[in-house]
Structure 1
Amino acid sequence: MDDIHGEIGRAALRSPDAIAVTDAFGEYTYRELDQRANRLAWHLRALGATGPVAVFLRRSRELPVALLAVLRASAAYVPIDPILPAERIALILADSGASIVLTDSSLLGRLPESGGRRIVYLDRDRERIAGCSADPLPGQASPDDLAYLMYTSGSTGRPKGVAVPHRGVAELFRDMGKLLGLGPDTVWAAGSSSAFDISVVELFLPLWHGGRVEVLAEDVVSDGDQLGYELDQLEVTHFQATPSGWRLLVASGWTAASGLTGIAGGEVLPDDLADDIVKAGVRPLWNAYGPTEASIWATMQQVTDRRPVPLGQAVGGARIRLLGIDDDGVGEIHIGGTALARGYHGQPELTAERFGPDPSGTGRLYRTGDRARRHADGSLEFVGRVDDQVKIRGYRVELGEIESALRSHPAVHDAAVVLDEEMLAAYVVPAGDAVGADELRDFLRDRLPPYMVVDRYSFLGAMPLNTSGKLDRRALPSQAANTPGELTGSPAERRVLRIAQEVLHAGGIGLTDDLRDHGMHSVLAMRLASRVNRECGTELTIRQVYQRPTVAGLAEVASLCE
């Protein structure tokens, strides 16, 4: 089959009483999953769902039901993470043209004005949905029908809705099933946001092959200790995460209780981290690479002793070409084949810019902006980017979108953003009125996802320009934070303060400042706990860092360094 949902229906016919999806509060068998999705699909069909349907839900066992129902209603889903700022949620709803939103009443306050959209509450409308038929809907999706719109960062300040059809995902699922040996014994832990395209693999691929999906809660995924415990207790056989997520897990000291197959993707897999993951008992470990525009993963490589870890060979319907090769054998990765998305929803000019004709005359190619070197065995070694797009905790980010948001502040004349040692740093030219870092952080929090909120700020009189009159990023002053912070407090607090400044690359931290306001995210929280434990002989956990995210609080909780 060349659609995402048809194979799941056949799995339900083969093993109706097998467990399909679980979360911390319950489970659905394949029969229950199938019937619930059918009833909701009939309900959507009755409401006239034909175009994009927004799915605005937290991660739970209801999420795959909702996504599957949209596909069975012959519509395409638009996943929107409830943690996003209200402005971005409204922008995605408007840009996608979604006429229906699937949600539940607990999220009512997070949704913007309906704007004529029909809101379906899975809890309030439960009886009405349950009254619909549980029979399969007539008709069958075409491989070229739209499956989902996945929104990624856009350099102009407008997120891009990548329009992905069924065909490329189905072809990937077939290949991954063979590579990973998936079947009825598969237990896959799903921990990614539905607005991150690797969630498509986590929520649907195991069901294609009769396995079980364990949907992990947000607080579990952000805590290395808790995540490791859940993987072991649930007897998970397959787990996929970004390298940042894997680092959080292995830094907790976790080792796999039994054979666990791991997939690392979404950002570059460092050699030392690959070694640590394998040492933790993850075998085999696969390195996966691919943009949203190529139906999730375009290449996969089983990790061996070879370093640097290569990107691997093409999978699914992807075809890899390296164009513009220089004297060092480095070129830009272009992806063709049936894995390609249609393009960007409602942005034909941008689509034409990034999806162009193959010079060989065989279809289209997507220009990734990634540079790589091809080895004799055909595998690729990632070298870097050709533009200002970066990966932050697995999310693809256009620095231009953050710059555009900063420039929209009335007190900002110009702004430039760089990625420095895994942290975002902004250079701001004020428009005349005084503006501070805290004000700009709050401004961005209201408009951008948390991973796009800038950590550090420098204020300049003017931007450095090159001879062409363009921004000279190499001439931007260093933001290395060696400024001393607050030197008052107990010896324990001063020790923790020094560690926090070094880990967060931030000066001027107060003893009672929330460290998240100085750029702390889950990966840096893990590093902070690790440094404190190593230098002070304590057992501070990631959970404690988030419960008491100040220097004073951490010193008190752990009774540090006295």
Structure 2
Amino acid sequence: MSFDASLSQLLLPLCAGAAVVIRPDDVTEPEALMEYIQATGVSFLHVVPAYLKQLVAVSGWQDSRLRIVVSGGDVFDTGLLDSWFNGDNASEREGIALYNSYGPTEIVITSSSHRVSVKALESKGSAPIGKPLANTSYWIVDAQGQLLPQGVVGELCIGGDSLAEGYWQREAQTAERFVELRFNNTLQRVYRTGDRAKWNDAGELVFVGRQDNQVKVRGYRIELGEIEAALKACQGVTEAVVKAEDDGLWAFLSLDENRTTLTQVEEELATHLPGYLLPSGFETITEWPLTASGKIDRNKLVRGISSDSDARAPSTEIELALQAIWAELLKIDAISATDNFFNMGGHSLLATRLASQIRRQFNVEFTLKSLFESPSIEEQARLIELLSAPVNASNSGDDAVNDAEDMEEFEL
């Protein structure tokens, strides 16, 4: 109940006489979720695109009772479309309807929905978000609030019966976002979303991106400046820049000379911001890249810019294989054997994918809990070797007991 979409996800099925199945906290990995969907007979699934990308790689769709899958809260790109319609398990999803939904909180969550078809792959972009729902209106306008024609990108404004009155005790922000614009000689009260969009040839809306410093990460709308301000308020932080990269937040910091550590900054930041606003990784910068005008050049700030060149490189066959998996998931090449997966930008969604790939590639029971307990490549390699080692049946007495105790230390 801590986010806007929970209202429609919980209340609408109940109003229609359906049951609501809430995912247990320990069901996080895609394989486990698919098994849970099969066991509970779920027929309608609502999931963000980032997680759906992982779920489509899992088999078992044909053994479920799923009829409708709705995904929203982030860009529904062609990579996800291709996986759904052309992936290894695509044939299992025949007969399951896929919808791309859109709608900000200010318009009571959902304002349009589009049934996605394989034709959407021809757009070479993102899937349409459809046409406005009943009693809702969409307008695409320029910077002066003038209507734009089909195919021209502008800001999406939304009006209608479900429009919110404004932000509680935030008059300035309300006045900026909730405005009156004149369309066809009629004055309309609208919400300026800050989303850039356009009308396609079919009269459907296509989401293009954000036009301000807001970003969407894992379904959450985030103001990067809010996180940067909170970081600069932390003890020992002299400068901070936060960027959205690969469905995660990455923080670049400069620290004072009082031996403040990144761990201390992380702990303090966690007391000021909710979990979804916390960066996936932190990196210290000793010399900021600057533009010609002397401002910080955000484009030159990339993950790994301050990597320690003296760190030990992966050396064994297992470590090198793990490094390749990490590089593919994290989209970076500079990875040492001692780097922490979560400090390198790994978040919970990437963690489930890493655990799944390790299980498939090494044929071991490597769980998500194993990853949290062994976050570096060298630790994971040792655990894989232990899990792969054959049990020596000749062990007896104390040796057998000691072996069992060693295994119990990993709590697998």
**Residue 13 of structure 2 aligns to a residue in which SS?**
helix
Structure 1 residue 413: deviation in Å?
2.2
> Bigger shift: 356-365 or 397-406?
356-365
Structure 1 residue 275: deviation in Å?
3.6
Q: Which residue of 2 aligns with 1:299?
A: 112
Structure 1 residue 322: deviation in Å?
0.5
**Residue 387 of structure 1 aligns to a residue in which SS?**
coil
Show CA shifts across 1:483-514 (max 9, x none).
66433775424542453355334856554x65
1:200-239 matched pairs, under 5 angstroms? 200-220=7-27, 222-239=28-45
**Residue 21 of structure 2 aligns to a residue in which SS?**
strand
Structure 1 residue 395: deviation in Å?
1.2
CA RMSD of aligned residues (A): 3.0
| CA pair 463-443 structure 1, distance change in 2 beyond 3 A | farther
| CA pair 286-327 structure 1, distance change in 2 beyond 3 A | closer
Q: Distance in 1 between matches of 2:45 and 2:268?
A: 36
Structure 1 residue 328: deviation in Å?
6.6
Q: Which residue of 2 aligns with 1:314?
A: 132
- Do the aligned partners of 2:150 and 2:199 also contact (CA within 8 Å) in 1? no
Q: Which residue of 2 aligns with 1:385?
A: 210
Structure 1 residue 409: deviation in Å?
1.6
Equivalent of residue 255 in structure 2, options 419, 425, 430 = 430
Q: Distance in 2 between matches of 1:314 and 1:327?
A: 16
Structure 1 residue 401: deviation in Å?
1.1
Letter in 2 for 1:357: E
- Do the aligned partners of 1:295 and 1:339 also contact (CA within 8 Å) in 2? yes
- Do the aligned partners of 1:196 and 1:395 also contact (CA within 8 Å) in 2? no
Q: Distance in 2 between matches of 1:215 and 1:501?
A: 33
* Gaps in structure 1 of 5+ consecutive residues: 1-193
TM-score, normalised with respect to structure 1:
0.59
Structure 1 residue 465: deviation in Å?
4.5
| CA pair 534-219 structure 1, distance change in 2 beyond 3 A | closer
**Residue 182 of structure 2 aligns to a residue in which SS?**
coil
Q: Which residue of 1 aligns with 2:401?
A: none
Structure 1 residue 199: deviation in Å?
1.0
| CA pair 501-449 structure 1, distance change in 2 beyond 3 A | farther
User: Comparing both chains, which one has the higher relative contact order based on Cα–Cα distances under 8 Å and sequence gaps of 6 or more?
Assistant: 1
| CA pair 435-498 structure 1, distance change in 2 beyond 3 A | farther
Letter in 2 for 1:320: Y
Q: Which residue of 2 aligns with 1:340?
A: 163
Q: Distance in 1 between matches of 2:223 and 2:139?
A: 23
* Gaps in structure 2 of 5+ consecutive residues: 121-125, 143-147, 390-412
Show CA shifts across 1:206-237 (max 9, x none).
111111111222222x2212211111111111
| CA pair 354-549 structure 1, distance change in 2 beyond 3 A | same
Q: Distance in 2 between matches of 1:236 and 1:488?
A: 43
Q: Distance in 2 between matches of 1:232 and 1:547?
A: 29
Q: Which residue of 1 aligns with 2:180?
A: 357
1:337-486 matched pairs, under 5 angstroms? 337-360=160-183, 361-454=186-279, 455-462=281-288, 464-465=290-291, 467=293, 471-474=296-299, 476-480=300-304, 485-486=311-312
> Bigger shift: 428-437 or 417-426?
428-437
Structure 1 residue 241: deviation in Å?
0.9
- Do the aligned partners of 2:45 and 2:66 also contact (CA within 8 Å) in 1? no
TM-score, normalised with respect to structure 2:
0.78
Equivalent of residue 243 in structure 1, options 49, 55, 63 = 49
**Residue 203 of structure 2 aligns to a residue in which SS?**
coil
Q: Which residue of 2 aligns with 1:253?
A: 59
User: What is the percent sequence identity of the aligned residues?
Assistant: 30
- Do the aligned partners of 1:369 and 1:385 also contact (CA within 8 Å) in 2? yes
Aligned residues: 365
Structure 1 residue 473: deviation in Å?
2.7
Q: Which residue of 2 aligns with 1:499?
A: 325
**Residue 232 of structure 1 aligns to a residue in which SS?**
helix
Q: Distance in 1 between matches of 2:323 and 2:139?
A: 49
Show CA shifts across 1:435-460 (max 9, x none).
44333323322322333222142414
Structure 1 residue 391: deviation in Å?
1.3
**Residue 74 of structure 2 aligns to a residue in which SS?**
coil
Equivalent of residue 283 in structure 1, options 60, 71, 96 = 96
| CA pair 398-389 structure 1, distance change in 2 beyond 3 A | same
